[in-house]
């Protein structure tokens, strides 16, 4: 049930909110489809069947951890190693969920635990930006989430069926699509050199240093935490 008291009637129809969500996620969907194909092809080369690729995408639904998992993949699968690695790669979700939670405060009680299952970097970034401009409605969030989920499961499965056909994707620069999407997303969080530069520089330095010295995906968490601490230590203006 949406809280319709805050905004004039007509503005808040669930359909309009869903449409706005789909419009915002549309350009992301294209690049997600590109690296979904890539992940599927990689999975096929590692010996996963299309059904197994579909199961992984549908149940895990976390692109970067799936790429890392396939990098480590062996037959038979190392269950505990893969589970632990997914935990480390995705620990950033703890920070992300904490940042998103206040925007879900007015939602129906049972919905957030379901909604967070669909929280990925791209739709999270867009929803945080939306929450900065006004209330974040469930219809906006879920339309975006399901578009992303459908795209990811379909494109990874298709990629695994096409499989070996796509050889050496790095030659075509397709692996860079992931980085490019995040560059554009992070630019949306730039609020000027005074507020953004110190935490971002700290985050980048920590991530690069940890990535160079610690195996695995700890650099994401290290950079996120270091940048967040730098943000907290800055001389403050008003914090909402």
Partner 1 sequence: MTLDPTTLAAIAAMAVATYLTRIAGYWLVRRFTLAGRPAAALEAVPGAVLVALIAPTVLATGPAESGAALVTILIARRGAMLPAVIGGVAAAALLRLALA
Q: Which of residues 60-79 bind partner 1 (CB under 8 A)?
A: 60-62, 64-66, 69, 76-79
Torsion angle, alpha carbons of 140, 141, 143, 147, to 10: 140
Cβ contact 69:42 at 8 Å: no
Cβ neighbours of residue 101 closer than 8 Å, sequence gap 6 or more: 112
Binding residue for partner 1 (CB under 8 A) from 5, 170, 193, 215? 170
The interface with partner 1 within residues 102-121 (CB under 8 A) comprises 102, 104, 112-113, 116-117, 119, 121
Task: For partner 1, give the closer residue by CB, 18 or 96.
Answer: 96
Q: How many residues bind partner 1 (CB under 8 A)?
A: 103
**For 100-130, b where at least 16 C-beta lie within 10 A, e where not — what string?**
beebbeebeeeebeebbebbbbbbbbbbbeb
Concatenating the DSSP letter of every residue in 17-77 gives: HHHHHHHHHHHHHHHHHHHHHHHHHHHHHTT--HHHHHHHHHHT--HHHHHHHHHH--SS-
Task: For partner 1, give the closer residue by CB, 66 or 140.
Answer: 66
Cβ neighbours of residue 38 closer than 8 Å, sequence gap 6 or more: 159, 166, 169, 174, 175, 177
Q: To the nearest whole angstrom, how small is the minimum distance from the Cβ of residue 7 to partner 1? A: 24
Q: To the nearest whole angstrom, how small is the minimum distance from the Cβ of residue 163 to partner 1? A: 13
Task: For partner 1, give the closer residue by CB, 8 or 167.
Answer: 167
Q: To the nearest whole angstrom, how small is the minimum distance from the Cβ of residue 5 to partner 1? A: 22
The interface with partner 1 within residues 75-104 (CB under 8 A) comprises 76-80, 82-84, 86-87, 90-102, 104
Task: For partner 1, give the closer residue by CB, 4 or 204.
Answer: 204
Task: For partner 1, give the closer residue by CB, 24 or 143.
Answer: 24
Residues 127, 203, 93, 121, CA torsion sign:
positive
Cβ contact 183:190 at 8 Å: no
The interface with partner 1 within residues 218-237 (CB under 8 A) comprises 219-234, 236
Torsion angle, alpha carbons of 156, 70, 149, 30, to 10: -60
Task: For partner 1, give the closer residue by CB, 16 or 209.
Answer: 209
Task: For partner 1, give the closer residue by CB, 144 or 202.
Answer: 202
The interface with partner 1 within residues 128-157 (CB under 8 A) comprises 128
164 belongs to the binding site for partner 1 (CB under 8 A):
no
The interface with partner 1 within residues 189-218 (CB under 8 A) comprises 189-190, 196, 199-200, 202-208, 211-212
181 belongs to the binding site for partner 1 (CB under 8 A):
yes
């Amino acid at each position: 049930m949406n809280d319709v008291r805050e905004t004039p009637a007509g503005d808040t129809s669930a359909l309009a909110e869903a449409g706005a969500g789909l419009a915002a996620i549309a350009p992301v969907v294209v690049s997600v489809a590109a690296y979904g194909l890539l992940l599927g092809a990689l999975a096929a080369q590692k010996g996963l069947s299309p059904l197994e690729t579909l199961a992984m995408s549908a149940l895990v639904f976390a692109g970067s951890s799936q790429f890392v998992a396939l990098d480590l993949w062996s037959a038979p699968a190392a269950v505990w190693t893969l589970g632990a690695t997914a935990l480390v790669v995705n620990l950033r979700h703890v920070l992300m969920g904490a940042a998103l939670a206040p925007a879900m405060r007015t939602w129906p009680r049972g919905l957030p635990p379901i909604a967070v299952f669909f929280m990925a970097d791209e739709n999270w970034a867009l929803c945080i930006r939306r929450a900065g401009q006004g209330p974040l409605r469930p219809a906006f969030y879920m339309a975006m989430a399901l578009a992303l989920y459908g795209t990811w499961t379909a494109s990874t499965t298709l990629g695994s069926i096409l499989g070996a056909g796509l050889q050496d994707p790095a030659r075509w620069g397709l692996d860079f699509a992931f980085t490019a999407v995040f560059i554009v997303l992070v630019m949306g969080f730039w609020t000027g050199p005074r507020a953004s530069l110190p935490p971002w520089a700290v985050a980048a330095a920590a991530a690069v240093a940890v990535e160079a010295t610690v195996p695995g995906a700890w650099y994401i968490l290290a950079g996120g935490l270091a940048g967040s601490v730098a943000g907290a230590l800055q001389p403050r203006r008003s914090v909402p």
